[in-house]
Structure 1
């Protein structure tokens, strides 16, 4: 099956026309004494998703849709809130201004039941209009960090030197505004946790593996971190490696960087790095590295459920070695965090594990 192509709209006029077309449809329904309906492609079902090895998880050409009806008790509130967001998008795009989702929420806290409700509506509006979310001029608030051999200019004209930080530089909210990217890095290393990110900075990983760019999304990555990793890959075409815990949650995080997510499948062209490689920690190497079970933990029932769910993902057909590692995880029922390598030696991760893996191209 084909994929649902997200159209990158560069002219604000096109976004405005799409918003106005939705509003005109609502007005037309009301004028005919018909209950107005908003229609959006359904982002919550795997039935709408296909796997494209060159893009990741993408929405099908003819996906099923969901409707938001004003005359339904179940969706009347969401209808009103969606119209409010459409109005705000029109205002922001027309005046060429930006705001974060957090700022939008706090402009009228009583209006939205919670931040997550607003976040979901913004995503639905982007999908409804068939535009990347950032073209709505509503930005996500970044939580990811970057450090290492990278220089760039942010959207507000600030010159950023990521090599001069000891704790990392916050990834800009407006990733599309970044320009003048420069690096002499040999690879990009994405790590799951902030604790690992800070440890590698403290232990001066560059001395052991050479110039590189280090990134963390602080757990499950926000959209800006994913956009930023994709931007670096598009601009430099450097090898992109991923270091996560040897557990189902770590695998989910790595899969999101590489292949994207179900909810953001309509934006896959801008959020995925299909060439990303799994550097570690591999479930199959944990017990060899840590013979003692002191650093290992039992999989919980939730972990096992997540691991089995991962085995059903459409991209597993293209990753037989991933499948083997997940099956090994389920079989042994043991998981390990990156920090457990410190039990071997405090600098084992930066001085031995990562240099050897990178030098020998030992990744999946």
Structure 2
């Protein structure tokens, strides 16, 4: 189905606003520009750690690794460091985890290759014991070495899916045409290693749930109201999914819109993509220009959903809304605060699936195109 140019008017205005907001920054592939600098910092930091360990051993002293404790992304909490040394069994095990993980990361960064944390774990199951042992050592190394997670070249296997107008080349040289996948495909394991990103998409739609993603792909929304790219993190998104959303935005500079449930958790997921996590946040994960398309709490009254499609807020929901309102970045966004207040005042929430009570195809045939045409989003 062809979409007339007047359909794109508000989306084009949003695109221009996005470009204006990013003025002064490189509109190209920013992540690839900084990668070499991160690699140099990471390799040098690894060599310093090993040199310190060798120096301690050479004078007969037990080596000590200093691991900074995590801080919140707003700079509060945490602080100080943990001392990991050879001696007590628990500390010795953690010391071994750190050095082996450091060696694996150094090897991949030096050779320009990538490995999943899962692969590294299976190479040395007897050492780590559980996947959590490796994950903890990788997070410790990020703080020790002063690099982002991506700087280790140890990627996290993503659960997210992507569909639509997108072609890219993986770190091993494989060309991937996402548009050929009938039901979407997994988010690439190494978003940092992607090159040759090509797309004529005019916006990126980030969807909360896998079920909604599948419905949109089945209805060919990325073509009917496109070209576009649709991405889902299947609930709370993992790092790889958020990296992909940010990467595509940084390369394509098109609007990013979020489609979630009209409830505290849907609001939190949309906010996570836009404002980032309150705890430990790397650069290159949040898209500050993201617009929350819906389903908005302020939409519910106009939609006139039947009473049985609306769910009452629980005490936990009210606590979640209060916590979100106190988020440092969200609290400075009047449009988002209004949605929180609307939900609190109404006392109700609703899922995207509730739109089927109006009409089975209401989401794809009415709600989405109307919201896009009328700029029915919150910035």
TM-score by length of 1: 0.85
1:190 to 206, 212, 234: 206
- Tell me if structure 1 keeps the 8 A contact 2:67–2:84: no
Tell me the secondary structure at the aligned position of residue 124 of structure 1: helix
Unaligned runs of 5+ in 1: 1-5, 50-58
Q: Please list every run of at least 4 consecutive aligned residues from structure 1 whose deviation after the TM superposition is greater than 6 angstroms.
A: none
Instruction: Name 2:194's counterpart in structure 1.
Output: 178
TM-aligned CA distance change 1:41 to 1:256, over 3 Å: farther
- Tell me if structure 1 keeps the 8 A contact 2:165–2:179: yes
Is the deviation greater in 186-195 or in 282-291? 282-291
TM-aligned CA distance change 1:297 to 1:28, over 3 Å: farther
- Tell me if structure 2 keeps the 8 A contact 1:9–1:131: no
| Aligned equivalents of 2:140, 2:273: Cα separation in 1 | 21
Q: CA deviation at 1:31?
A: 5.4
| Aligned equivalents of 1:39, 1:284: Cα separation in 2 | 50
Q: Do residues 360 (structure 1) and 374 (structure 2) align?
A: yes
Deviations 1:117-167 (A, max 9, x none): 422321221222122222312111122211112222222222222222220
Instruction: Name 2:341's counterpart in structure 1.
Output: 327
Equivalent pairs counted in the alignment come to 345
| Aligned equivalents of 1:318, 1:346: Cα separation in 2 | 37
| Aligned equivalents of 2:128, 2:314: Cα separation in 1 | 35
Tell me the secondary structure at the aligned position of residue 192 of structure 2: helix
Superposition map of 1:1-364 within 5 A = 8-10=34-36, 12=39, 14-29=41-56, 36-45=63-72, 48=75, 64-70=79-85, 75-206=91-222, 208-265=224-281, 267-268=282-283, 270-364=284-378
TM-score by length of 2: 0.82
- Tell me if structure 2 keeps the 8 A contact 1:43–1:262: no
Deviations 1:33-70 (A, max 9, x none): 66644334433436625xxxxxxxxx9xxx82332332
Instruction: Name 2:13's counterpart in structure 1.
Output: none
TM-aligned CA distance change 1:81 to 1:206, over 3 Å: closer
Q: CA deviation at 1:28?
A: 3.9
TM-aligned CA distance change 1:207 to 1:97, over 3 Å: closer
Unaligned runs of 5+ in 2: 1-30
| Aligned equivalents of 2:314, 2:99: Cα separation in 1 | 42
TM-aligned CA distance change 1:107 to 1:333, over 3 Å: farther
Q: CA deviation at 1:363?
A: 0.5
